Amino acid sequence: MIPKIIHFCWLSNDPIPEKLQEYMASWKKYLPDYEFMKWDFNRFPKESCPWVSEAFDAKKYAFAADYIRIYALYKYGGIYLDMDVEVLKKFDDLLKYPYFLCSEHTEGGPEVAAFGSTGGAEWLRDWLDYYNGKHFVNEDGSLNTKPLPKIAIEQLTQNGYHFVTIKRPEDIAENKNSKDICLLPSDYFSPKSYADGKIYLSNNTYCIHHFTASWKPIEQRLEHKFWNLLGLRPHRIMWHVDNLLDKIKNKFRKK
């Protein structure tokens, strides 16, 4: 049983922006009987994880939160929400499952802005193992900015897991293969397209990830809006290029 805990990260001492507070108000509206667990450096000592410490010092706050969200669910169980997630209805009928995840609307990997799990789950532990001995700042000074969904796919696949697309939450319980990770359709927790900003709601939708990306530099956010106005999707092209380069690298490693 997934406990009624909402985990969220706010590592800054700055006030929470008004827009994020509006989204968080929906949490309390629809989830009044849930515990809200804020993760900051009082709850999670910065020095306890080199990755988190280095990512924060490099002002890449989302990457610091990447580790903490997995750690929080592994330790306590519950539901992790990015602060730009708007809740539309209770998660109560999903708590009976060992976990719940959906696909990203645009890229097709696991959506990591809204997902839940029981505590101590083996797949979360294996996911966390990616960070063991790993630094966010590489020896050459470059930064390890691989997106968390991509880390999930690579790390869990290497540990023998398989991502399986399902149509309904009941399929999670009916799937008896412990190495299968079931992904619900994106409309469950991520109906908004990062590419064009359109929201594709359905009767299945529990919440909306709004992709405010407040952690990104202002120039990157403006660039994204510019390409959207032109109707172009350069990030989609780069995603395919990155995947192709990874396949080439893996092919040479095997040789």
Write down the domain spans for the chain: 5-215, 217-254
What average pLDDT does this structure show over 29-49?
97
Compute the 3-state secondary structure of the chain and give helix, strand, coil in percent, each to the nearest 5. 40, 15, 40
CB atoms within 10 A of CB 160: 9
The reported pLDDT for the residue numbered 195 is 77
Which residues does 34 contact at the CB level (< 8 Å), separation at least 6? 4, 5, 6, 27, 79
CATH number assigned to the domain with residue range 5-215, chosen from the 4 options 1.20.1690, 1.10.1660, 3.30.70, 3.90.550: 3.90.550
Cα gap 26→125, rounded to integer Å: 30
Residue 106's pLDDT band (cuts 50, 70, 90): confident
Contact yes or no for 206/87 (Cβ under 8 A): yes
How does the average pLDDT of the chain come out, rounded?
87
The reported pLDDT for the residue numbered 211 is 87
Contact yes or no for 27/33 (Cβ under 8 A): no
pLDDT digit string (tens) for 195-243?
788 899 999 999 999 987 544 444 444 444 444 444 444 444 444 445 5
Q: DSSP of 98-115, one letter per residue?
A: SEE-BB-SSS-SB--SEE
Quick one: DSSP state of residue 228? H
What's the token pair of residue 130?
């990616």
The reported pLDDT for the residue numbered 247 is 54
The reported pLDDT for the residue numbered 197 is 84
What average pLDDT does this structure show over 99-123?
93
Measure the N-to-C terminal CA separation of the chain; round to a whole number of Å.
45
* Least confident span in 36-40, 133-137, 166-170, 244-248: 244-248
**What proportion of the chain, given as a percentage, has pLDDT over 90?**
77
The reported pLDDT for the residue numbered 233 is 45
What pTM was computed for the model? 0.84
Cα gap 119→117, rounded to integer Å: 6
Cα gap 2→6, rounded to integer Å: 11
pLDDT digit string (tens) for 10-34?
998 899 999 999 999 999 999 999 9
pLDDT digit string (tens) for 142-192?
999 999 999 999 999 999 999 999 999 999 999 999 999 999 999 999 999
The reported pLDDT for the residue numbered 142 is 93
CA 251 to the chain's CA centroid: 28
The reported pLDDT for the residue numbered 194 is 80
pLDDT higher than threshold 70 for residue 83: yes
Higher per-residue pLDDT: 250 or 203: 203
CA 61 to the chain's CA centroid: 13
